[in-house]
Amino acid sequence: MSEAFDAVVVGGGHNGLVAAFDLSRAGLRTLVLERRPIVGGACVTEEFLPGFWASTGAYVLSMLGAEIWSNMRLQERGIQVDAAGPTLNISKSNEYLYLHDDIEESAVEVGRFSKRDAAALPKFEDDLASLAKPISPMFRWTPVEPRLRRPSDLAGIAQVALHFSRYRGLVPEAAFLFTTSATQYLDERFESDVVKAALGWHAINDSVAGPSTPGTAYVLLHDHASVEIGGGIRQWGFVRGGMGRVTAAMADAVREAGGTVRTDTEVERIRTKSGRANGVVVSGGEEIGARFVLSNADPKRTFLRLLDPADVPEHFRAAIEAYRCDGTSMKINLAVGELPRFVGLDGDGVQPYHTGIMEVNPTLAELDGQQQLAREGIPAVETHIELCIPTVHDPTLAPAGKHIVTIDVNSQPYRLASGNWDEIKDAVADRVINELTQAFPNLAGSIEGRAVLSPLDLERTLGITGGHALHGDMLIDQLYFMRPVRGWGSYRTPVQNLYLCGAGTHPGGGVSGANGRNAARQLLRDVRTRRLRLS
């Protein structure tokens, strides 16, 4: 057996690195084990063709907490984030709607489709911002345990009750938002299908739920709440050098704090004794002892693959098996010889839409139908597509004069009704390029190479069950103290001394680091309150 540590973190994604940093800074001998040659999990930047570099998973930064920026000294480590430009929303008929950070500019754009909607937009944004105020602080808290299994649970409930007593007038609207659909919430406020699609497409959130599914309206709030969390970082931004620069800097911070980071080391099993985690077994058979184990892997991978079935209580295992984490996104990275040109806007050189995110939007009703196809295992056509061009901000990601285009295609189910992704993914990618060429006529002819990642490829490459980038659907029954399993939202697990710290915990997916920070804080709190020895 190799050297024993106080804590071993399974997986070097951003949440695992944040947790490892906090534990190391608190004096725990901490080891991070990452199966790939590079740290980062879903936040990595890789060369997909000679000279062309792209972010394999997450490709924009928006939610990373201000305290994490400060404590890990990310800016001093050279992390630079360029503000994203306006979002260009494109309808199937190539009508376009720009949405800006400035609400007045956006209202002018919306007014081209509906004067009524233009007048309603500022109140819509103000209402969501108001609702975000009581919700966003809770992203940084351990969820309360309503079963009151520990005295500290009472204190947690008291904290939440006191917190919401300051926002009593918002409770009815918040309850409605959490339980209604994005479609209904937007239908009450807007009339234009183009406007509603631009504001509500992301309600599907890498799940098979359609925007008319109850509970999807929460996603509208999640974006606003995450901005409150981020503090000093812009809502959307492109990292110079790609997202992998962030996690590489985080790994440096862990090492500087006294932690150890090992790559090319896959954890094959979490070791237990008498119901307690006490280390891991890695590929090759090496055993590493630890007082605590934190898993940055998704819940299904953690409990159904890394643990002996005998270590997981039957009722808990059944709940994990039922946990929804089948992804619905295909990722395509293109190497292109010139910038894509949108047919609806003339102009040479870099245009404003090149600097932001471009969304090809079906109507919300059409998106419901496409998500229904995904639920049936059928890859939808003419569905929502998101694309961006990071090289406009950082030309070093491609050879001189060339660009990368990162594309995210929705309603592409992990589980297919027939065939398999290895057989069909290139045909699906060809279809997507043809669809995009209707809006960007020069795109197909400019392509010099590409990398296509199906949901199955995302699972294989990034180690995320079902290829779900958020480690699981983010509907009301899989949030807060019910994430991943009701009654186990406190980062603790039924296996003593085993904690979860990934996106399958509160507050869910996104590059916030809150999951890792909260899990580390909970472990340290347990050490203090239980007077547990670390050696």
The number of C-alpha atoms within 13 Å of 324 and in the hemisphere containing its C-beta is 16
pLDDT in tens, 409-438: 999 999 999 999 999 999 999 999 999 999
pLDDT in tens, 194-244: 999 999 998 888 889 999 999 999 888 865 655 544 433 335 799 999 999
The number of C-alpha atoms within 13 Å of 439 and in the hemisphere containing its C-beta is 22
Q: Nearest to residue 403, comparing CAs of 350, 329, 338? A: 338
> If you average pLDDT over residues 276-305, what whole number do you get?
97
Based on C-alpha coordinates, what's the Rg of the chain?
A: 23
> Is-contact 272 100, C-beta < 8 A?
no
pLDDT in tens, 110-146: 999 999 999 999 999 999 989 888 888 888 989 987 7
The pLDDT > 90 percentage for the chain reads: 81
Instruction: Give the span between the Cα atoms of 101 and 98, in whole angstroms.
Output: 10
> Is-contact 359 386, C-beta < 8 A?
yes
User: Which residue shows structure tokens 């306006």?
Assistant: 86
* In the predicted structure, residue 534 carries a pLDDT above the cut 70: no
Fold of 325-462: Guanine Nucleotide Dissociation Inhibitor; domain 2 (3.30.519)
Instruction: Give the span between the Cα atoms of 275 and 498, in whole angstroms.
Output: 10
Q: Nearest to residue 472, comparing CAs of 323, 333, 343, 370? A: 323
Fold of 2-46+58-80+239-323+465-530: FAD/NAD(P)-binding domain (3.50.50)
> Is-contact 234 84, C-beta < 8 A?
yes
DSSP 271: E
Q: Comparing 480 with 63, which gets the higher pLDDT? A: 480
Instruction: Give the span between the Cα atoms of 231 and 140, in whole angstroms.
Output: 13
pLDDT in tens, 445-486: 999 999 999 999 999 999 999 999 999 999 989 999 999 999
Rounded to a whole number of angstroms, the distance between the first and last alpha carbons of the chain is 16
> If you average pLDDT over residues 490-495, what whole number do you get?
96
> What pLDDT does residue 531 have?
54
* In the predicted structure, residue 399 carries a pLDDT above the cut 80: yes
Tell whether the torsion through CA atoms of 317, 318, 323 and 327 is positive or negative.
positive
> Is-contact 319 325, C-beta < 8 A?
no
Domain ranges of the chain: 2-46+58-80+239-323+465-530, 108-236, 325-462
> If you average pLDDT over residues 159-188, what whole number do you get?
89
pLDDT in tens, 322-375: 999 999 999 999 999 999 999 989 888 999 999 999 999 999 999 999 999 999
CA 116 to chain centre: 34
Q: Is 119 helix (H, G, I), strand (E, B) or coil?
A: helix
Q: Is 214 helix (H, G, I), strand (E, B) or coil?
A: coil
> Is-contact 297 303, C-beta < 8 A?
no
Q: Nearest to residue 212, comparing CAs of 192, 194, 197, 191? A: 197
pLDDT confidence tier of residue 532, bands split at 50, 70 and 90: low
The two tokens of residue 134 are 């009581």
> Is-contact 336 405, C-beta < 8 A?
yes
What would the DSSP string read from start to end of 351-394? -GGGGSEEEE---HHHHHHHHHHHHTT---SS--EEEE-GGGT-
430 contacts: CB under 8 Å, gap ≥ 6: none
What would the DSSP string read from start to end of 159-201? HHHHHHHTTGGGHHHHHHHHHS-HHHHHHTT---HHHHHHHHG
DSSP 484: S
CA triple 532-534-535, angle to 5 deg = 125
> What pLDDT does residue 3 have?
67
Instruction: Give the span between the Cα atoms of 114 and 189, in whole angstroms.
Output: 12
The number of C-alpha atoms within 13 Å of 527 and in the hemisphere containing its C-beta is 19
